[in-house]
Structure 1
């Protein structure tokens, strides 16, 4: 069950109580594709998220929808959205999706397209350097998945998601 970190507590100000509860009921997102799309969040996302977002720019809602599908466990729906997003955040989401599907080289390609994003420094700080940059983190995740030691990477991935979602919301 992902809990919002102190640094991202303002995220919930932009989500309805129902969306916040649905995110909280999902398991911590895995490093891989995941085995199933998870209950309440899936149901809510299938109905559309417009009514569940507070003061989120309509131009950023598709990015947020792609991000939410990552939490729900459907990387393929996230991918179908992120591949059409021309922003740095769209490339970032695309990179996360490929990292989770195990296509590590392609993940790095998309992170190169992100460029020098200010969120990388924030993620490094909140993960105590475990996520020093997206390329090293892809390598960490690849090793952790192969060795069955995914916990720390999953926690850092959740911090990454929160930091990116905050940037998307702040527009």
Structure 2
């Protein structure tokens, strides 16, 4: 795990997201805290394939697989099997977003 990803993950120990995060990383941060509604409220206002991927992840986590499938298609991604660990997918999204934001 690179230092940027480790730092982002460690920031979940704090009560609020670090300053300077993009809106999409802020939504992901709230998802990492287990705050589904806060994460969803933020990502719902965003567009683009990365936002759709996070949106899909949130709906899969919620158990709304039909809605998740829609968002995975918008992201240009296949919906993972239900046995894919949500934490593993969260890390994949974080890695992708943090590479973009570096």
Partner of 1:44 in structure 2?
16
Q: Which has the larger radius of gyration?
A: 1
Provide the C-alpha distance between the structure 2 equivalents of 1:102 and 1:157, rounded to a whole number of angstroms.
11
Using CA pairs under 8 Å that are at least 6 residues apart, name the structure with larger relative contact order, 1 or 2. Answer: 1
CA gap of 1:20–1:104, structure 2 versus 1, over 3 A, is closer
- Superposed CA deviations along residues 3-61 of structure 1, whole A, max 9, x for unmatched, are xxxxxx11x32564xx54343xxxxxxxxxxxxxxxx44x133xxx226xxxxxx6xx1
- Superposed CA deviations along residues 77-128 of structure 1, whole A, max 9, x for unmatched, are 1111111111211001111111111211001000010014xxxxxxxxxxxx
Matched, 1:98 2:59: yes
Q: Pairwise mapping of residues 105-120 of structure 1 onto structure 2 (< 5 A)?
A: 105-116=66-77
Partner of 2:31 in structure 1?
70
Provide the alpha-carbon RMSD of the alignment: 2.2
SS state of the match for residue 44, structure 1? coil
Please say if residues 61 and 86 of structure 2, whose CA atoms lie closer than 8 Å, have aligned partners that are also in contact. Answer: no
- Superposed CA deviations along residues 126-157 of structure 1, whole A, max 9, x for unmatched, are xxxxxxx42x42xx25xxxxxxxxxxx4xx32
Question: Please, what TM-score do these two structures have when normalized by structure 2?
Answer: 0.81
Provide the C-alpha distance between the structure 2 equivalents of 1:75 and 1:88, rounded to a whole number of angstroms.
19
Provide the C-alpha distance between the structure 2 equivalents of 1:112 and 1:160, rounded to a whole number of angstroms.
16
Q: CA deviation at 1:63?
A: 1.0
Q: CA deviation at 1:167?
A: 1.3
- Misfit runs of 4+, over 6 Å: none
SS state of the match for residue 50, structure 1? coil
Task: List gaps (5 residues or longer) in structure 2.
Answer: none
What count of residue pairs does the alignment treat as equivalent?
100
Question: Please, what TM-score do these two structures have when normalized by structure 1?
Answer: 0.51
Partner of 2:88 in structure 1?
159
Provide the C-alpha distance between the structure 2 equivalents of 1:66 and 1:167, rounded to a whole number of angstroms.
14
